[in-house]
């Protein structure tokens, strides 16, 4: 029992590290457009994102409950140490992947990383029967549908903006949209908090249920507060490698583009949050920028960079699943 308690404490610690990394890894996406258009100074953008991420994170719990039982049902794991080891392996795998992609400045998905890692560790421990296939398929569908919806909405909103403001002065239009970007950056950061921080809450809750420390998947308030705080602190660090990629290497972003991308991505992320589905903020935000760019000028989008990002998205699930499966076996041998 003492070893299980220590293991659970280690899992909580690793979950906070994952949330911290998620904060500086994915927050770059939420502020990239506003920083690249100079609507917000970098320091102000980070403070804004930090506050709004925290508020978003403590407001909702539906996504956390989906994560805690949608991939692997903790109530079906009979051995407490096995359940704890599965969660630990998944967290280590996701942390390693996030650090690697951050190092190379690639806006990879933390959502894909933790979902793939949970699935891989669960299969390694209990076989393919451990997967909650109905929940896993629904989550996978949301991960696929959300970027398609984002690119479509970004395309539509940009066309609407172009039509409405076609006779306005370019200088005045840019000034107005820089002001609007302060609002859209705040909305996007809030939406990010409602979805991304929930994944860590779900992981911790899953570990607590599997270890029989709590009887239900209701998210404890202390888990919500500490997870939100951890992401907010990570947000304060920033992720400038990824800001450069999202904010400039996909397309040249003007204030009107940035506002359109922010609005579309915030709407998609928040929409899926209300449906209790985890999505990749990286997927959604980057797809929104692609949609906005395609609406303005297809050739103005760096499709080569976009393809590289998509390839990273595609390989994240299988690679993190494999990594976590190996880590689980190593932990079992050590422990």
**pLDDT digits 0-9 by tens, 208-218:** 988 888 988 88
Backbone angles phi, psi at 88, to 5 degrees: -65, -45
The answer to whether 14 and 228 are in contact (CB under 8 A) is: no
Backbone angles phi, psi at 41, to 5 degrees: -70, 150
Instruction: Count Cβ atoms below 10 Å from residue 254 Cβ, excluding itself.
Output: 19
pLDDT of residue 246: 47
Q: Which of 121, 127, 125, 97 is nearest to 25 (CA)?
A: 97
Tell me: the pLDDT tens digits for 8-22?
A: 899 999 998 998 887
Output 101 or 84, whichever has higher pLDDT.
Answer: 84
Query: Which own/partner contact pairs does 304-311 have at CB distance under 8 Å and 24+ positions apart?
Result: 305/245, 305/249, 305/250, 306/250, 308/106, 309/106, 309/107, 309/245, 309/250
Q: Which of 294, 287, 269, 306 is nearest to 158 (CA)?
A: 294
Structure tokens at 251: 């397309």
Three-class secondary structure of residue 250 per DSSP: coil
Q: Which of 318, 264, 256, 315 is nearest to 286 (CA)?
A: 264
pTM given for the model: 0.86
Residue 331 has pLDDT above 80, yes or no: yes
Which residues, listed in sequence order, are joined to residue 72 by a DSSP beta bridge? 131
Residue-averaged pLDDT of the chain: 84
Q: What does the buried/exposed string (b/e) look like for 92-128 if buried means 16 or more CB atoms within 10 Å of the residue's CB?
A: bbbbbbbeebbeebbbbbbbbbbbbbbbbbbbbbbee
Q: Which residue has the tokens 């940035």?
A: 258
Residue 152 has pLDDT above 90, yes or no: yes
Confidence band of 25 (pLDDT split at 50, 70, 90) = low
CA dist 224 to 3, 19, 204, 296, Å?
25, 12, 10, 41
For the residues 92-102, what does the mean pLDDT come to? 88
Structure tokens at 172: 């005045």
């Amino acid at each position: 029992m003492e070893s299980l308690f220590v293991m659970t404490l280690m899992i909580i610690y690793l979950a906070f590290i994952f949330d911290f990394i998620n904060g500086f890894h994915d927050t770059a996406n939420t502020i990239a457009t506003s920083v690249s258009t100079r609507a917000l100074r970098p320091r102000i953008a980070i403070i804004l994102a930090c506050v709004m991420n925290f508020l978003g994170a403590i407001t909702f719990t539906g996504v956390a409950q989906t994560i805690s039982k949608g991939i692997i049902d903790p109530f079906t794991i009979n051995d407490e140490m096995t359940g704890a080891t599965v969660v630990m392996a998944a967290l280590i795998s996701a942390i390693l992947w996030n650090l690697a992609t951050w190092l190379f400045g690639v806006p990879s998905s933390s959502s894909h990383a933790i979902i793939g890692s949970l699935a891989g560790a669960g299969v390694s421990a209990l076989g393919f029967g451990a997967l909650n296939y109905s929940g896993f398929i629904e989550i996978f569908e949301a991960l696929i549908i959300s970027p398609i919806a984002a690119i479509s909405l970004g395309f539509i909103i940009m066309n609407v903006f172009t039509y409405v403001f076609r006779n306005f002065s370019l200088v005045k239009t840019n000034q107005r949209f820089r002001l609007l970007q302060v609002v859209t950056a705040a909305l996007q950061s809030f939406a990010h908090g409602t979805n991304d921080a929930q994944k860590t809450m779900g992981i911790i809750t899953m570990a607590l249920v599997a270890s029989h420390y709590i009887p239900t998947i209701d998210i404890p308030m202390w888990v919500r507060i500490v997870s939100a705080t951890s992401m907010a602190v990570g947000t304060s660090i920033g992720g400038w490698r990824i800001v450069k990629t999202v904010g400039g290497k996909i397309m040249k972003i003007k204030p009107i583009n940035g506002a359109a991308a922010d609005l579309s991505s915030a709407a998609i992320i928040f929409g899926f949050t209300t449906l209790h589905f985890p999505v990749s903020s990286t997927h959604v935000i980057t797809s929104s920028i692609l949609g906005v760019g395609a609406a303005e000028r297809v050739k103005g989008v760096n499709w080569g960079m976009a393809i590289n990002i998509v390839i990273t998205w595609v390989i994240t699930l299988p690679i993190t699943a494999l990594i976590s499966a190996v880590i689980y076996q190593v932990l079992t041998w050590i422990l």
